[in-house]
Chain A
Amino acid sequence: MQSASAVWTEPIGLNNTRPATSSAPPLHLHGGINTPPRPTIGLLILTTSYWEAAVPDYNLLFDQPPKMTHQFPSLSPAQKKELSDIAQRIVATGKGILAADESTGTMAKRLQNINVENTEENRRCFREILFSSGSTMTNSVGGVIFFHETLYQKSDCGKLFPQVIKDKGIVVGIKVDKGTAGLNGTDGETTTQGLDGLSERCAQYKKDGCDFAKWRCVLKISDGCPSALSIAENANVLARYASICQQNGLVPIVEPEILPDGDHNLQRCQYATEKVLAAVYKALSDHHVYLEGTLLKPNMVTAGHSCPKKYTPQEVAMATVSALRRTVPAAVPGICFLSGGQSEEEASVNLNAINQVPLHRPWKLTFSYGRALQASALAAWKGKVENKGAAQEAFCTRAKINGLASKGEYKPSSSTGQASTQSLYTESYVY
């Protein structure tokens, strides 16, 4: 696979400056440029000094021909380079993302499964175990996604977690969305909230050590879903989030997850994925998002969980890569799949197959796994401090395997633990 050049793609020798024309929108009235306006009935009550009145009101008074704006560059070349460099580091060859951003509510379920109480200390403890893992982690993990609470917690030796991660040369990320909200008039579909004050929050997170962010939108497949509204609304909110992140130096991970719930077949999922991704990239274009400074976190294309037909990893891989080749521009540096309830082993085997598909793949194809990296570690830990080594061992094993899978070099052996093959599917998964 051709690896993308590390060079950022700003055209050589060009300045990101505004065009020399004035910053006010050109005034085009009936009869052409610079002719006086034709008064209408509504204007007779205005004073003769309305020319000096608020310029934007002209748009309401007269028919303005639709204009295509010049580019009004929102990012300087230096800002673009910073974003692009961060993105490249996260998806460096052989590396992926540890999604450790489970909310308090989600951690409750995880800890309940191993009979551990959902206290802040226990949550801190478990993240401590993961983050203090050795060099295997450094070799296979390019970025870690944090939940807000964890960003301000400290390790056993008193160092803030983001610093621990950064000291390993791993990029720190933060989940910034505020969960899903219902879309009225749809069949239980949602959008995702969190845009209010997002710019200020991003600026603060950047100061506190983050370099990328994550925002999850959720779509589902059923007879009438995803609806046109759901696709358009989620694509739009993702693009808004991405635009705001980039303004604050954070690389946005764009996550339009299509849930695996349902009995649909592989083709149906591929079709839905292609439609959703086409809409996402159109929205990103409309919102002037700098693609080289983003990452995509999609679902793999799989059949629904209750689909009677079973597909091989090669079929899943082919459907996934085809869908991506038809929709994701080459400028996107990396695609980090979510595991979506697949078991640890399944998620690795599928990622491996994806990286072996005989089609040209111009982006990195790697992992951004939560459950699929942590299940064995949780099971080994059981909340007991003496199990720390075993838990770290389990985590590092999965990290290493997924690192190999992201290069298509994973060779599954027969001795996989019980936890790794256990399906991690929960219906209508909410983080």
Chain B
Amino acid sequence: MPHAYPFLTPEQKKELSDIAQRIVAPGKGILAADESTGSVAKRFQSINAENTEENRRLYRQLLFTADDRISPCIGGVILFHETMYQKTDGGKVFTQHLKERNMVVGIKVDKGVVPLAGTNGETTTQGLDGLYERCAQYKKDGADFAKWRCVLKITPTTPSRLAIIENANVLARYASICQMHGIVPIVEPEILPDGDHDLKRCQYVTEKVLAAMYKALSDHHVYLEGTLLKPNMVTAGHSCSHKYSNQEIAMATVTALRRTVPPQSPVRIGITFLSGGQSEEEASVNLNAINTCPLSKPWALTFSYGRALQASALKAWAARRKTGRLNCSFLGKILYTVNNTYLIVIPLQNA
């Protein structure tokens, strides 16, 4: 058995764990504004906006320059590569602007999914090439955390053993490289909610995936306190005929996490949304159920919400654009939990 060959000094470890703690500080969430150019195209299409670089800049500016009511709710923002280097109207680089608002800046570093030959349509995620150098540069440019998304799916034959170990391995490699540069890796082994499987199947799969995840992180000598796990909530498949209560979903989620996630690892639960307005309510009720679940939850636990936050903002921006006024305050609903006790929904007013 090899000796430990420590590659992180105590100071580096402290920096990583401090960043991780800031991101999961009570009451704070992450704004995921890291849609790639292609994904943004779909969003803009829904409001009839053209997918130009300027429009993308304006849209992100709208989110980042919202007034101070969002500051206590947003701990970190995940950016896409292009956005890292864009500026506000006033000429300030976005990363600088966000840091001044006391928000941690994150960067999506993966390069999308690629198929795994010989599987039933399963994928791994690429982006490791040159990641070492890219992370060094991103850290210089202001990023303190990174995001990498792996995708698994549930069908009668998946996730296969290969998909589980390959995705766990690539996530652990990414995490290890990030940490060498003082970047906290968000580890995201997302299990898609597509399908007609029941809650129990999702729980089983989640437990297997997360067990493999943590074994890989251990094998790759990743410093757990300086990572952030972003698991999906455990839910039945979208087309499952049986509807489960929020308590059942909460119980299944917390049980799966209790059986696999070491207490030392900070956790931020990712909420995947269905389309339509009803999902924002659903999501908030589920978050509440998780917080009030009677099982002990030993991790620093908060929540990540992307699309819901932006859905309303996007619509508001569309409305404003029609009247030609592009500089507007942020309009939207913010969902957040405060001290794990209750859920607050605050509608912000128009400027």
Contacts and interface: CB of A to CB of B under 8 A. Distances in A.
Contact of A326 (B4, B120, B164, B262): B262
Interface stretch (A96-104, A266-274, A382-390): A266-274
Interface stretch (B57-65, B92-100, B210-218, B313-321): B210-218
Nearest to B294: A5
Contacts of B284: none
Contact of B1 (A19, A226, A267, A329): A226
Q: Interface SS of chain A: helix, strand, loop or mixed?
A: loop
Contacts of B295: 4-5, 7, 9
A9 B255 contact: yes
A40 to B, nearest CB: 18
Given A68-B157, A285-B207, A330 B201 contact: no
B261 interface: yes
Interface in A269-305: 271-272, 274-275, 278-279, 281-282, 285-286, 291-292
Interface stretch (B143-151, B178-186, B243-251, B273-281): B243-251
B111 to A, nearest CB: 26
Contacts of A53: none
A360 B199 CA distance: 30
B258 A331 contact: yes
For chain B, the bracket of interface size reads: 35 or more
B119 A65 contact: yes
A329 B200 contact: no
B156 interface: yes
B238 to A, nearest CB: 17
Most B-side CB within 10 Å, residue of A28, A275, A285, A329: A329
Interface residues of A, number: 54
A5 B293 CA distance: 10
Interface in A10-31: 10-14, 16, 19, 21, 26, 28
Contacts, number: 138
Nearest to A282: B215
Nearest to B209: A68
Contact of B200 (A71, A224, A279, A360): A71
A275 B1 CA distance: 10
Contacts of A362: 263, 296, 298
B307 interface: no
13 contacts: A12-B248, A26-B157, A28-B120, A66-B119, A67-B160, A68-B159, A226-B1, A281-B215, A322-B264, A326-B262, A329-B262, A360-B298, A361-B263
Interface of B: 1, 3-4, 118-120, 156-162, 164, 198-201, 203-205, 207-208, 211-212, 214-215, 218-219, 224, 244-245, 247-248, 251-252, 255, 258-265, 294-298
Q: Which 10 A-B pairs have the closest CB atoms?
A: A285-B211, A278-B218, A362-B298, A325-B264, A71-B204, A282-B215, A271-B4, A331-B258, A331-B259, A11-B252
